[in-house]
C-alpha cells in the first residue's frame, strides 16, 4: 500500500493546526458575540420588568414611610431603600386608615439582588410577598420631591424618582443600562 512520508504527515498536521485554530477562533468569537448579545438581552429584560414593578407600587402608594415597622424599623427609607405605605385592600374597596407596607431593598449579603417585600396589615386582603426583582442590580437610587419639583424629606414626598442601573455580565463582556423615572403618588 501507499504510505505517507514524514514530510506529508508534517504538512498535513500543520494544515490541520491552522484550520483548527481558524475554526476555534470562529468559535470563540461567536461565543464572545453570544455573550455580549446575551448580556444585552438579559439587562434589557431585567430592567424593564423591575421598573414596571417599582413604578406600579409607587403610583399606588399613599405615602413614603420612614421605615417598616414604623415604630422600630428594620428597613429605613433612604436613597437606596424605599419603604412605601399602600392603603390596605378589602377585596373591592380600600380600608381607610389602614396600610400595607412595601419595601424595596438590596440583600445585605448580595448587593446585586433587588428584593421587593410586601408586609400587609392583618385586615388587608393583599398577600404577603417576598420577591426577587433582579439579580443584576448595579445601583439603585431614590430621590424624593414635592409636586413642584423641590427636594423634600421622604415622608413629605409626592413624587419619587427612581434611578435603576442593571449590569449584566457574561465572562469578560458586560452590558449596562440606567433607567430613570419620576412617578407621582396617586394616593397622596
Partner 1 sequence: MVFTAQNKHQKYLEQGVSVIELVLVTVIIAALALLVANLPSSVSSINRSRHSSIAKDIATRELEYLRKLSYDSLSNGTNNFTDPDLTSLPKSTASYTVNDCQEPACINGEKAKIVTVSVAWNESGDDKTVDLSTIVSQGGLAQ
Partner 2 sequence: MNKRQLNKSFCPTIESGQILILGVIVIGLVLVNTLVIIGGSQIYSNNAKYSVEETQATNLAEAGVDKALASLNATGGSYNGDSEIQLGEGSYSVTVTTPDVGTKVIEATGYIPSKAEPKVTRTIKVSASKGLGVSFNYGVQVGEGGLQMSNGARVNGSIYSNGNVSMSNNSIVTGDAYVAGGVAPAPDQESVCTTPSCTDFVFGKNVAGNDQLDVAQSFKPSVSDYLNKISLNLKKVGSPPDITVRITKDKNGSPDKNNVIASGTLPASLVTGNYGFVEVTFTSSPQVNSGNTYWILLDTTSNATNYWSWSADSSQGYTRGAAKWSANWQATTPIWNSTLVDLDFKTFMGGTRTNITGTNGSTVQGDAHANTLNSLLINGGAYYQTANGISAGNYYPGSADPPAKAMPVSDANIQAWKDAATAAGVYTGNISSCRTTLGPGKYVGNVTFTNNCMVTIKDPVWITGYLNLSNNVVLNLDSSYGASSGVIVVDGVITLSNSCRLLGSGTAGSYLLTLTTYDSRTNGSTAVSVANSGNQGVLYAPYGMVVISNNNHMTELTAWKINLSNNVVVDYDTGLASSFFSSGPSGSFSIIKGSYQEK
Q: Which of residues 38-57 bind partner 2 (CB under 8 A)?
A: 38, 40-41, 44-45, 48-49, 52, 56
Selected binder of partner 2 within 66, 73, 76, 95 (CB under 8 A): 95
Q: How far is the CB of 148 from partner 1 (least distance, A)?
A: 9
Closer to partner 1 by Cβ: residue 48 or 128 = 48
Cβ atoms of 160 and 144 within 8 Å: the answer is: yes
100 lies in the site for partner 2, by CB under 8 A: no
The DSSP annotation for 126-187 comes to SPPEEEEEES-EEEEEEEEE-TTS-B--GGG-SEEEEEEEEEEEETTEEEEEEEEEEEE-TT
| CA–CA gap between residue 109 and residue 91 (Å, rounded) | 36
Return the one option of partner 1, partner 2, none that residue 108 interacts with (CB less than 5 to 8 A, by type).
none
116, 137 Cβ separation under 8 angstroms: no
Examine residue 47 and tell whether it contacts partner 1 (CB under 8 A). yes
Q: Which residues bind partner 1 (CB under 8 A)?
A: 37, 40-41, 44, 47-48, 51, 55, 147, 159, 177, 179-186
Amino acid at each position: 500500500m501507499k504510505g505517507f512520508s514524514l514530510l506529508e504527515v508534517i504538512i498535513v498536521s500543520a494544515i490541520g493546526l491552522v484550520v483548527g485554530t481558524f475554526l476555534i477562533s470562529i468559535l470563540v468569537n461567536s461565543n464572545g458575540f453570544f455573550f455580549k448579545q446575551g448580556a444585552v438581552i438579559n439587562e434589557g429584560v431585567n430592567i424593564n420588568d423591575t421598573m414596571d414593578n417599582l413604578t406600579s407600587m409607587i403610583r399606588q402608594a399613599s405615602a413614603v414611610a420612614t421605615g417598616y415597622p414604623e415604630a422600630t424599623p428594620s428597613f429605613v427609607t433612604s436613597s437606596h431603600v424605599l419603604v412605601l405605605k399602600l392603603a390596605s385592600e378589602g377585596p373591592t374597596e380600600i380600608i381607610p386608615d389602614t396600610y400595607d407596607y412595601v419595601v424595596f431593598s438590596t440583600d445585605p449579603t448580595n448587593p446585586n439582588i433587588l428584593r421587593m417585600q410586601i408586609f400587609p396589615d392583618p385586615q388587608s386582603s393583599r398577600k404577603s410577598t417576598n420577591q426577587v426583582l433582579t439579580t443584576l442590580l448595579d445601583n439603585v437610587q431614590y430621590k424624593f420631591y414635592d409636586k413642584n419639583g423641590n427636594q423634600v424629606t421622604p415622608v413629605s414626598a409626592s413624587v419619587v424618582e427612581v434611578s435603576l442601573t442593571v449590569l449584566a455580565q457574561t465572562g469578560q463582556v458586560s452590558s449596562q443600562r440606567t433607567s430613570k423615572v419620576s412617578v407621582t403618588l396617586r394616593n397622596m
